[in-house]
Amino acid sequence: MMSKWKLSLFRISRRMWFRSTLYGVLGVATALAGAAARFVLPQGLATQIGADSVGNILGILAASMLTVTTFALSTMVAAYGSAATNATPRASRLLIEDTRAQGTLATFVGAFLFSIVGLIALSTGIYGDSGRLVLFGATIAVIIVITVTLLRAIEQFSRFGRLGETVDLVEKATLKSMELRAEEPFLGAMPYTGSVPDTSIAVFAAAVGHVEHIDIQRLDALAEAHRLTVYVVCQPGTFATPNRALLHVMGTLHDDQRAQLIEAVTIGGSRRIENDPRYGLVVLAEIGVRSMSPAINDPGTCISVIGTCVRLLLRWDALACAQRDEKVQHRHVYMAQLDADDLFEDVFAPLSTDAAGSLEVNIRLQKALAALCAGCSASTREAARHHADSSLERALRTLSFAQDRQKLRAIHALEQQRAQDAASRRTFGSPAPTR
């Protein structure tokens, strides 16, 4: 997990104003760079090339870029509302932080500021003939950049905020978070799988919110300095309250040390996907649940979300199986890894509950969970079997048509048998049966 200051810089870089400010400063600097060219380039060259027309070009550019920037911003705001309505409000943050959309808007803002500053500088006469030549060349380059950006924006804004695009964004963000966590399952701390010692001292949260970041390096430094052993009993995304222990400590603990330890756990108002892969699965499940509401009733979207979650969970299973021994960097801190059953609970509990009355969705759920039952890790197989059985039980209590219940039972038995056969072939290396 990245350090606290790196995480802060990362989040600042994802703010919409950051890229626009950066591109705006670049545009202003480019417009003013021509003033220094008067001392380098020969006089009279600008007249031969026709750089005197740069003022007219900049005027057209300034007027058009103001309109295009306003249109792009209104399109993005409409896309945020569409994603919140059609998908889930929790997915809007990913659209707001999308670097492609931010880059498009920032390019238009930078081009607008470039043209405005260029016009102002031209009116003051600071360029001279050589400076106008440089400004003319920079203007041509800016026009090329704008043209390429506009062509890309046509494709981008035609899909931006749509349900399928939003699901893809959530999937990519969740996969990246999973891969980062798989590199350090214990965040560089010592692993522990059991319960904390009974004689340990609990350190409770000082605020109400979700755990956004755990500074393991800071905890290790404090533990080493005060001769402590720290057990982290929370994960990024854990809901913290003043009566919820986030840490357990072995050793003599004073009040000032307790305050220093709890400051290493950052608590915020909302969860973030970048270091909380479970939250990505929660967002996907919310999209699937919303699609099954009576007002929408779109089983196809729910089925698509199930397929997305299966891809992510199979990838997580593969990463867990390929996991090498993690290099322990912080030997005074102990932490548990993510539990596979929690990942399954985040996805399949809400989906199977809200889609219990839909036969087609339940069939896909059984097939999806059967695919996960053939995973390579025992925890994945156990969690998948548990949720396959519980999903079947929910559906049988909800479906009113007897033939639907009979069909779902048969599919459940068939898919579980296939999963068991696939797991056996993987374990013993026997060839697949021929037909």
- In CATH, what number is assigned to the domain containing residue 223? 3.90.1170.30
Q: Check whether residue 278 and residue 398 sit in a common domain.
A: no
Task: Examine residue 435 and state whether it is found in any structural domain, yes or no.
Answer: no
Q: Check whether residue 9 and residue 99 sit in a common domain.
A: yes
Phi, psi of 249 (to 5 degrees): -125, 135
Strand partners, 213: 266
The percentage of residues in the chain with a pLDDT greater than 70, rounded to a whole number, is: 92
Long-range contacts of the stretch 402-407 (C-beta < 8 A, 24+): 404/359, 407/359, 407/363
Residue 281 contacts residue 143 (beta carbons within 8 Å):
no
Give the model's pLDDT for residue 45.
54
Instruction: Read off the pLDDT band of 433 (50, 70, 90).
Output: very low
pLDDT at 326 over 70: no
Q: Check whether residue 383 and residue 425 sit in a common domain.
A: yes
Task: Examine residue 110 and state whether it is found in any structural domain, yes or no.
Answer: yes
Q: Check whether residue 409 and residue 312 sit in a common domain.
A: no
pLDDT at 180 over 60: yes
| Mean pLDDT, residues 44-66 taken together | 74
Give the model's pLDDT for residue 372.
93
Q: Check whether residue 151 and residue 171 sit in a common domain.
A: no
Residue 362 contacts residue 408 (beta carbons within 8 Å):
yes
Give the model's pLDDT for residue 430.
47
> What distance in Å separates the CA atoms of residue 165 and residue 169, rounded to the nearest whole number?
6
Alpha carbon 348 to its chain's center: 20
Ramachandran class of 44: left when φ > 0, alpha when ψ lies in -120 to 50, beta otherwise: left
Task: Examine residue 312 and state whether it is found in any structural domain, yes or no.
Answer: yes
Nearest to 340 by CA among 322, 376, 367, 313: 313
Task: Examine residue 308 and state whether it is found in any structural domain, yes or no.
Answer: yes
Give the model's pLDDT for residue 229.
94
Task: Examine residue 144 and state whether it is found in any structural domain, yes or no.
Answer: yes
Strand spans (E) along 215-335: 229-232, 239-240, 245-250, 265-268, 330-335
Task: Examine residue 434 and state whether it is found in any structural domain, yes or no.
Answer: no
pLDDT in tens, 15-35: 888 999 999 999 888 888 877
Q: Check whether residue 184 and residue 324 sit in a common domain.
A: yes
| Mean pLDDT, residues 139-155 taken together | 92
Of 138, 161, 184, the position where a domain reaches its end is 161
pLDDT in tens, 72-120: 999 999 999 988 888 899 998 899 989 999 999 999 999 999 999 988 8
Give the model's pLDDT for residue 219.
94
pLDDT in tens, 244-290: 999 999 998 888 999 999 999 999 988 999 889 999 999 999 999 99
Q: Check whether residue 31 and residue 140 sit in a common domain.
A: yes
Of 292, 311, 338, the position where a domain reaches its end is 338
Phi, psi of 247 (to 5 degrees): -135, 155
Instruction: Read off the pLDDT band of 325 (50, 70, 90).
Output: low
Residue 285 contacts residue 305 (beta carbons within 8 Å):
yes
In degrees to the nearest 10, what's the CA dihedral of 253, 259, 260, 264? Answer: 120
Q: Check whether residue 406 and residue 319 sit in a common domain.
A: no
| Mean pLDDT, residues 317-345 taken together | 86
Q: Check whether residue 148 and residue 179 sit in a common domain.
A: no
Q: Check whether residue 270 and residue 386 sit in a common domain.
A: no
Give the model's pLDDT for residue 161.
86
Task: Examine residue 283 and state whether it is found in any structural domain, yes or no.
Answer: yes
Q: Write out the DSSP string of 342-378.
A: HHHHHHHHHHHHHTTT-HHHHHHHHHHHHHHHT-SSH
Task: Examine residue 365 and state whether it is found in any structural domain, yes or no.
Answer: yes
Q: Check whether residue 319 and residue 354 sit in a common domain.
A: no
Domain that holds residue 95: 4-161
Give the model's pLDDT for residue 429.
54
Strand order in the sheet with 245-250: 189-191, 330-335, 229-232, 245-250, 201-204
Q: Check whether residue 356 and residue 334 sit in a common domain.
A: no
- How many domains does the chain contain in total? 3
Of 161, 192, 224, the position where a domain reaches its end is 161
Q: For the ranges 283-287, 304-308, 380-384, which has the lowest average pLDDT?
A: 380-384
Rounded alpha-carbon distances, angstroms, from residue 5 to 172, 213, 215, 218: 24, 11, 10, 12
Find tokens 């079947």 and name the residue: 392
Q: Taking the model in full, what pTM does it have?
A: 0.87
